[in-house]
Amino acid sequence: MIRNTLITAALLGLITNPGIATAEQWPTQAIRMIVPFSAGGPTDLLGRYAAKELSKSLGQPVIVENVLGAAGSIGLNRLANSTPDGYTIGITANTVQALAPHLSKLPYDTLKDFSGLGGLASFPYALVTSIKSPFYSVQDIIAQAKAAPGTVVAGSAGVGTGTALSIALLSQRAGVSFNEVNYKGSGPVVLDIIGGNVDFTFDIMGTAAPMAQAGTTRVIATTSPNRHRRLPDIPTVAETLPGYEFSAWYALIGPAGMPPEVVKRISDAIVALQQTEETRAFLEERGYDAMILTASELDQRFQTEYRSWGELVSHMKKE
């Protein structure tokens, strides 16, 4: 009798306590998605699209929360310290997970404190200037930086972001220095590009191409190995600096220690999401390529890039 009573109590606990709900029951409440950058930027736009589509497949609202500061580390620190029950997830980029730890001390371990959930999109960057700018080519920027070191103002979305690495690579490969200004996200950088307060930045193709085509800004080069399909008339940086290439990608992650069944449920939903015509069109329009990675494949990708980018940063620091 006592044994039966204990079993009954345990079963009731599973039903009434959502924190220990089974994978079949999960999710029973809204899911929060932390976006560690500003609203309106590329990370935010992709995160909101993924949140909307995951809400449909998971059967619960996925609510975006922008948590800004410190090049994404404040939002990711909140994610790392959240309850690993699947009700708090976040969007990140490989630059934040694999590069940032080599540039500054972070309040979390990017390899140990997160659970990979799935890849979202990969993309190159575009070198963007103001339409008022005297710079019409990569060579123009390099020539000015050599003539007057530190006078060319480069805007980045923050230390450890793709824009910051793209600027660092340009500086290193061209042998010049820039006056780099770090912002909290790419949105504010673009506003200062338009206003002529910043000479150039690197922005993702999805936002750079439409603005250039609308005449708001000017794209003078791309970081892809070959000319990009969205802007086939625009040269690559590599056409001026052979070997220059940079691409980045976005993924969804959660805190470490999430139940494997819940991780698989989210991972399967992300994979299915990328196979819809609507998502393919969304990615194509913004210059993204689909990046279908399962949770385990994403974890492995972070490990690989963490090592390779660590070697790159170490090499750059020695020069």
Q: How many C-beta atoms surround the C-beta of residue 266 within 10 A?
A: 25
Asked if the model's pLDDT at residue 28 lies above 80, the reply is yes
Asked if the model's pLDDT at residue 23 lies above 70, the reply is no
**Which residues, 6+ apart, have CB-to-CB distance to 171 below 8 Å?**
177, 178
Q: Is the peptide bond before 107 cis (omega within 30 degrees of 0)?
A: no
State the average pLDDT over residues 237-246.
Answer: 93
Strands 88-93 and 114-130: what pairing? unpaired
Model pTM score: 0.71
Domain 124-239: which CATH number of 3.40.190.10, 3.40.50.1110, 3.60.20.10, 3.30.70.1450? 3.40.190.10
State the average pLDDT over residues 153-181.
Answer: 89
Which range is least confidently modeled, 7-21, 35-49, 205-219, 278-292? 7-21
Instruction: Check residue 109 and give its pLDDT.
Output: 96
Confidence of residue 191 (pLDDT cuts 50, 70, 90): very high
Asked if the model's pLDDT at residue 81 lies above 90, the reply is yes
Share above pLDDT 70 across residues of the chain, in percent, rounded to a whole number: 90
Indicate the average pLDDT of the chain. Answer: 89
Asked if the model's pLDDT at residue 200 lies above 60, the reply is yes
Q: Which residue has the higher pLDDT, 46 or 318?
A: 46
Looking at domain 29-122+248-318, its CATH architecture is: 3-Layer(aba) Sandwich (3.40)
State the average pLDDT over residues 41-53.
Answer: 94
In Å, what is the CA distance from 264 to each residue of 56, 158, 269, 296, 297? 17, 32, 8, 10, 12
Instruction: Check residue 189 and give its pLDDT.
Output: 94
Domain ranges of the chain: 29-122+248-318, 124-239
Residue 66 contacts residue 38 (beta carbons within 8 Å): yes
Q: What is the pLDDT of residues 91-137, one digit of tens each?
A: 999 888 888 898 889 999 999 999 999 999 988 899 999 999 999 99
Residue 35 contacts residue 91 (beta carbons within 8 Å): yes
Instruction: Check residue 281 and give its pLDDT.
Output: 93
Instruction: Check residue 287 and give its pLDDT.
Output: 78
In Å, what is the CA distance from 54 to each residue of 60, 106, 107, 118, 287? 8, 30, 29, 12, 21
Share above pLDDT 90 across residues of the chain, in percent, rounded to a whole number: 66
Instruction: Check residue 15 and give its pLDDT.
Output: 42
Asked if the model's pLDDT at residue 78 lies above 60, the reply is yes
Asked if the model's pLDDT at residue 7 lies above 80, the reply is no
Asked if the model's pLDDT at residue 217 lies above 80, the reply is yes
Confidence of residue 160 (pLDDT cuts 50, 70, 90): low
Helices and strands in the chain, H and E counts: 11, 10
Same fold for the pair 29-122+248-318 and 124-239: yes
Helix, strand, or coil (residue 158): coil
Instruction: Check residue 246 and give its pLDDT.
Output: 86
